[in-house]
Amino acid sequence: MGKRRLSFLNEVRDQIKSREAKDFVEIELDYHIKEAKSHLLTKGIDETEAEEKAVGQMGSPVMLGQQLNKLHRPKVDWLTVVLLITTMGIGFLPLFSLGYMNNGHFAIYKIIFVLLGAGVALGLMLINYRELEKLGWLFYTIGVLVLIMIKALSKGFVFGTSVVEIGQVTIESVMSIPFFFLAWASFINNKRLKIWHLGMLFVLSFYLLFTIPSTSTAYIYTVMVFAMVWWSKYSRKTILVITILTSSSFIIFGLILWPLLAFYQKLRLLEFINPEKYPTATTLYIKERMSQAGWFGNSMNKETIVDAHTNFVFVSFTYHYGWLFGIALVVLHSLFASRIVVVLRKIKDPYGKLLLIGAIALYTIQFVSNIGMSLGYFPMISMSLPFISYGLMPILLNAFLIGVVLSVYRRKDLTSSRFSHIESGEI
């Protein structure tokens, strides 16, 4: 690098506070200086003079550095942060209504879960998400190993269990989702990987999820992958073919495996299709509790609701606090999902876009499925309501997603297109 160019770039860097912005600005400015120098060389100017003039066209390094420092100052999406804090805070209300906060175990663990979730979101926000793209294969391998470990430690021969315990440590199949999430964003953005490559990767991971078994995890995983594919670089024709082939495969697969399903799995589907035929159906019980909620709830009635603090937390929340608060909770989650969509529209980086699409898919499918299940519009499965259901993984998984969203937003201005104005003399 020429001494004049090096000196200029160092002076610009000195005015910029963000380390990431320093490196990005240096690379971009160096590129534009070289472009200008090459143009001058074609006019017969010698190399030393061409570099001097090319650097001179950039203007004052101090002023340029100060302006770029303002432009690329790290940004925090405070609206998403406020929504995160609010939703986590509301997550304590079901425990209060159920009397669980009087139990030291529930109270202490809930506080620990929330603090860990906040730490995960904050930590990921500070990490440069672009550094994760090159680790796609590592993340996929870790996700597969998590599932293989669960399958190996479970006692079933064909079907095991989606949760295993090693001492005080519980390993759940949903722990693989964050790793697969990062892996698929990297894979789909990798031009060297063909459709059939992606197909093989999906079949392997889905097979492991299905044979553990973990229906709910396989469900949200499938939605996430196909949401990324549908909004990827592939042509509409290719995506349509993939959708038709996959849908047909799932239908055939389902018909073949129906006889192999456990009794409770079949019962859940049959209850959903015709709940009146099953007088002890959970669906009818849940509908009855929801119909008794009223606008302001039954705060004095401590009637027990099945899985009141986990899968059916929305039912217990609405039953105790009323439809007014239930609707407010739905609106809050909808705002969360809408905010991610708004951030997505501001992002130009393809990898960042894929991460946000995957985050929207994972967050929304949990939220919509849980609410739909509570209202009788979706079959009964093990599905948490983001940040509201009690448990470590429901908080950590969604805090992870929000942390990725905050990381992408924080670096949304570090894109090459922002420097097009340098050539036009706007700075």
Q: Residue 281: pLDDT above 80?
A: no
With residue 417 as reference, give the H or E element that holds it. none
pLDDT value for 385: 92
State the average pLDDT over residues 37-54. 78
pLDDT value for 421: 40
- Higher-pLDDT residue of 266, 190: 190
Mean pLDDT of the chain: 81
pLDDT value for 266: 64
pLDDT digits 0-9 by tens, 121-155: 999 999 989 889 999 999 999 999 999 888 877 65
φ and ψ at 163, to 5 degrees?
Answer: -135, 130
pLDDT value for 342: 93
> Where do the structural domains in the chain lie, given as residue ranges?
3-73+416-423, 78-410
Residue 348 near residue 417 (C-beta atoms within 8 A): yes
Prediction pTM value = 0.81
pLDDT category at 95 given cuts 50, 70, 90 is confident
pLDDT category at 413 given cuts 50, 70, 90 is confident
Share of the chain above pLDDT 90, in %: 32
pLDDT digits 0-9 by tens, 212-256: 877 889 889 999 999 998 888 777 777 787 778 777 776 776 666
Alpha carbon of residue 149 to chain centroid: 24
Torsion of CA 141, 145, 148, 149, to 10 degrees: 180
Q: Residue 414: pLDDT above 80?
A: no
Q: Residue 312: pLDDT above 90?
A: no
pLDDT value for 265: 61
pLDDT category at 271 given cuts 50, 70, 90 is low
pLDDT digits 0-9 by tens, 295-305: 888 866 665 67
Q: Residue 407: pLDDT above 90?
A: yes
Share of the chain above pLDDT 70, in %: 83
- Higher-pLDDT residue of 248, 354: 354
State the average pLDDT over residues 182-194. 91
Q: Residue 82: pLDDT above 90?
A: yes
pLDDT digits 0-9 by tens, 60-77: 877 877 777 777 777 889
CA–CA dist 75, 65 (Å, integer): 18
Residue 133 near residue 185 (C-beta atoms within 8 A): yes
Other C-beta atoms closer than 10 Å to the C-beta of 194 total: 10
Q: Residue 332: pLDDT above 50?
A: yes
Q: Residue 262: pLDDT above 70?
A: no
- Name the range with the highest mean pLDDT among 66-75, 148-157, 180-189, 409-418: 180-189
Residue 343 near residue 80 (C-beta atoms within 8 A): yes
Q: Residue 258: pLDDT above 90?
A: no
pLDDT category at 420 given cuts 50, 70, 90 is very low
Alpha carbon of residue 279 to chain centroid: 39
pLDDT value for 423: 36
Residue 309 near residue 389 (C-beta atoms within 8 A): yes
- Higher-pLDDT residue of 257, 241: 241
CA–CA dist 186, 134 (Å, integer): 7
pLDDT value for 19: 72
Listing DSSP states for 42-58 in one string gives TTT--HHHHHHHHHHTT
pLDDT value for 325: 92
